[in-house]
Each structure stands twice: as structure tokens, then as C-alpha cells.
Structure 1
């Protein structure tokens, strides 16, 4: 049902135009805010998830390798301790000193 009054039709057109303009302004404001937030967060040196996961996996591999090396060193030290008797520190300190020539 259409109204015969042109004032109401013009008023509805103005409101529709204003609503469209407001929606456009909201979209532009959201895009500007999103861009500003990206710039702000980008300056904080955050790490991407995939980079974080890669470093985390490398750290786990390094820990595993460190544990394996520690086990090998302990086994070699035990083997060395059983094969060669350790010299006490006092025996090393009682070695005769070389005298200076001419004395």
C-alpha cells in the first residue's frame, strides 16, 4: 500500500540513504580499526603459530639429543672410572718440584 503523500516518500528515501551511509561508514571504520590493530600488534614482535610450533619441536629434539649425550657421557665416565684408578689430589701435590739451574 503506497502512500499518496510525497513528504512521507521523500522522508523514507532520506532515511534509507542515511542508513546506507551509516552502514558504509561502519564498514570503513571497522576496516580502519582492523588495519590500525594489525599495525599495533605487528610492532609487538609476536610470533606466528607455525613458527612457534617449529621452534618448540626443535627445542624438544635438542632436549632429547642432550639427554642421549648425557647418558653416553655417564656411561663413558663409569667405564673410565672402572678401567683406570683415579689418582688422589694429594698424590699430585706431592710431586717433586724441579729446581732452578744453578742452585
Structure 2
């Protein structure tokens, strides 16, 4: 036997509406936080990942060249003696 109780129907609709409102507020808060975070990060003097990688590769190349020059210098020093 199925009973239709208006009180329980109203409570179910209220709960459903509240859940939808909570989800909407959550989405709005996430959007606001994302915008705030992007503003904060853009105001900082940060480099992009691509820029970082380019400079890292340049430093590796300079280190390798320095090591090669150091080795060449050692060879020249040892041949002088």
C-alpha cells in the first residue's frame, strides 16, 4: 500500500531544493576562489615553466662548456710541465 503524505513530499522537495542551492553556492565559491588565486599569482613576479626550462638548459650547456674548458686548461697545464 502506497501512501501519499504531503508533509513528506514537501520535505523531499525542500531537501532537494536545499541540495541544489548548496551545490550552486559551492560552485560560486570555487569560481570566486579561482579568480582570487589567479589575481594573486599574476601579481607575483613568477616565471612560466617554459621560461624556467629554457634557463635550466642554458645553465646545463654553460656548465658543460665550463667543464670542457677546465679539462682543456688542465691538459695545457700538464703539457707545460
Indicate the structure with greater helix content: 2
**Distance change >3 Å, CA 44–CA 78, structure 1 → 2:** same
How many aligned residue pairs are there? 80
Question: Counterparts of 1:2 and 1:21 in 2: how far apart (Å)?
Answer: 30
TM-score norm. by structure 1 comes to 0.59
Q: Which has the higher contact order (CA 8 A, sep 6+)?
A: 1
Q: State whether structure 2 residue 47 is matched by structure 1 residue 35.
A: no
Output the CA distance in 1 between the equivalents of 2:46 and 2:68. Answer: 33
Q: Name the structure 1 match of 2:50.
A: 50
User: TM-score w.r.t. structure 2 length?
Assistant: 0.72
Q: Which runs of 4+ in 1 moved over 6 A?
A: none
Alignment partners' CA distance in 2, 1:26 and 1:2: 36
Q: Displacement of 1:2 after TM fit?
A: 5.2
Kindly name which structure, 1 or 2, has the bigger radius of gyration based on alpha carbons. 1
CA distance in structure 2 between the partners assigned to 1:2 and 1:56 by the alignment:
72
Compare 39-48 and 27-36 and name the one that shifted more. Answer: 39-48
Whole-angstrom CA distance in 2 between matches of 1:15 and 1:57: 58
Q: CA RMSD in A?
A: 2.6
Partner Cα separation in structure 2 for residue 33 and residue 78 of structure 1:
64
